[in-house]
Chain A
Amino acid sequence: MSSIRVENLSIKFRVYHDRSPSFKDSLANLFKRNAREAYSDFWAVKDVSFEINAGDRVGIIGHNGAGKSTLLKTLCRVYELFDGKISVDGRIAPLLEIGAGFHPEFTGRENIYLNGSILGYSKQQLKEIEPEVIAFAELEEFIDTQVKYYSTGMYMRLAFSLATAMHPDILVLDEIFAGGDAAFMAKATARMHDMIDKANIMIMVSHDHLLVKSLCNRVIWLDHGKLVADGAPDEIVERYLAGRKNG
């Protein structure tokens, strides 16, 4: 059984005002007391705690810049937490940005192996899923063509097929994505739902409130990096839309 435990999580970004400090500036600042700071700190996530257990389908909502994606990326270890604690039990799949790690100069097949290894698949696993990935992406003809000659749809289809080829314990989604034509979209949506059904835990970020209500059984509302509410989807989404922070 998978679980995620987040305690007092805070993530701080440093915002530089004009440019990254040069080596000269850093040296100069060593000898200057009270040197004017060239940056200010920004808390993307501040003191957030929650626990997610097996069977939970969690939707994270909030306006742009509320810290939703930062929170997801921190769960996937892309960002380092500044303070607090995260414990994750189970294999977590980073389905954040599809096609990250694709190399345009590589062929589709080479990218399956490159991107697949980045996603954490072993060579053996990749060999097994390769035919299925190619078939699902409908790219049999072009799989040995360099990806830079692909159309956007072909690129998205390959990336999607690969990213969804395995079923992780914990599925993390940043907006549900699917490219390609209508037929592929339907196929992809079905696969996505199948994946969500089979996942032990699902966490998603979405601005589509109907989607959140239909897929999730729990909603977390973030605002300016702070957790505002956590509860049943219908209730929280309604409060969020009405802007009622205090229930």
Chain B
Amino acid sequence: MKTQVSTFLPELYSRRNVLRQLVSQQLILRYRRTALGYLWTLINPLLMMSVMAWVFSTLFKADLKTFAVFLFAGMIPWNFFSSVVSQSGTAFVHNEGLIKKVYLPKAIFPLSIAFAFLIDSLLSFVALFAIILAIGGTLSWAVLFIPAAFLLLFFFALGVGLIMSIATVFFRDLQYVILIALQGLFFFTPILYQRDTLGGNIGRLVGLNPVVPYIELFRAPLTQGTLPGTSVIVQAVAISFTAMAIGLFIFLRQEKKIVFRL
């Protein structure tokens, strides 16, 4: 009961129409019947980030503007990663009715989640961009690296998401465990602080966190106006590749079993 790699992609491509529908379903449904509609998707994280920027810049006695850009640049990749990973856990469980009645390539469900959040995240990024310009920040050509950063981050999150989507079907408790784990991981990721301000054991622990290079991919172009270091890029490529490889391996081996376990 394994899926052949050779049929996996062509089949997925032939059903791209469903994928498109599921993505727009997620984007449309979230704020249907609210006055501001889709704008909430932008307002929500931006307001949240603004409050955090204000509180923490006061706490750390940092300049609000600089800190805001610093924080936003870290929050956008983090929010994307944590949303994809936590929501992927419900990809199959929430679509049980559909999966048991109609055949669809199963990868459509986690993929639609990743795509929907990618769109959200890209739009938040555009909003962030506008804010940086508005508060008088300077942007350099290094910003052109951001699409590549998104691409690497997308594959990392998707790889982990594929694993989560399958694992949750077999162990339902994971839905809740992952939320706590992500909350913990947030503090071990240099979002509120600079990576090099942490030394000792905690510093070494943070060094093992696979999300760290991705934060750096976004932060270097946005806060310093420089391209991320080669070693960071190499790390990110390696992690994304590994996550996708493990994710696909597990997914292709297990996807045909999930209909019996839902």
Contacts and interface: CB of A to CB of B under 8 A. Distances in A.
Interface in A96-145: 96-97, 100-101, 103, 105-106, 110, 113-114, 117-123
Interface string A153-174: 0000000000000000000000
B32 A94 contact: no
Interface residues of A, number: 30
B29 A80 contact: no
A50 interface: no
A114 B20 CA distance: 9
A127 to B, nearest CB: 12
Q: By DSSP majority rule, is chain A's interface helix, strand, loop, or mixed? A: loop
Interface stretch (A71-79, A184-192, A195-203): A71-79
Interface stretch (B48-56, B69-77, B157-165, B252-260): B252-260
A119 B173 CA distance: 32
Contact of A105 (B29, B100, B171): B29
A82 B99 CA distance: 18
B261 A96 contact: no
A121 B173 CA distance: 37
Interface stretch (B82-90, B101-109, B195-203, B242-250): B101-109
A26 B167 CA distance: 12
A93 B97 CA distance: 18
B102 A94 contact: yes
Nearest to A11: B260
The 4 A-B pairs at the shortest CB distance, nearest first, are namely A77-B103, A100-B101, A80-B256, A117-B17
Interface of A: 13-14, 20, 22-23, 26, 76-80, 82, 94, 96-97, 100-101, 103, 105-106, 110, 113-114, 117-123
Given A105-B29, A106-B29, 14 more contacts: A13-B260, A20-B172, A76-B103, A78-B100, A78-B102, A96-B101, A97-B101, A100-B97, A100-B101, A105-B32, A117-B18, A118-B98, A118-B104, A120-B15
29 contacts: A14-B260, A14-B261, A20-B171, A22-B171, A23-B173, A76-B102, A76-B103, A78-B99, A79-B259, A80-B1, A80-B256, A80-B257, A94-B101, A94-B102, A94-B103, A96-B101, A101-B102, A103-B29, A105-B29, A105-B32, A106-B29, A113-B21, A118-B18, A118-B21, A118-B98, A118-B104, A119-B102, A120-B15, A121-B17
Interface of B: 1, 15, 17-18, 20-21, 25, 28-29, 32, 97-104, 170-174, 256-257, 259-261
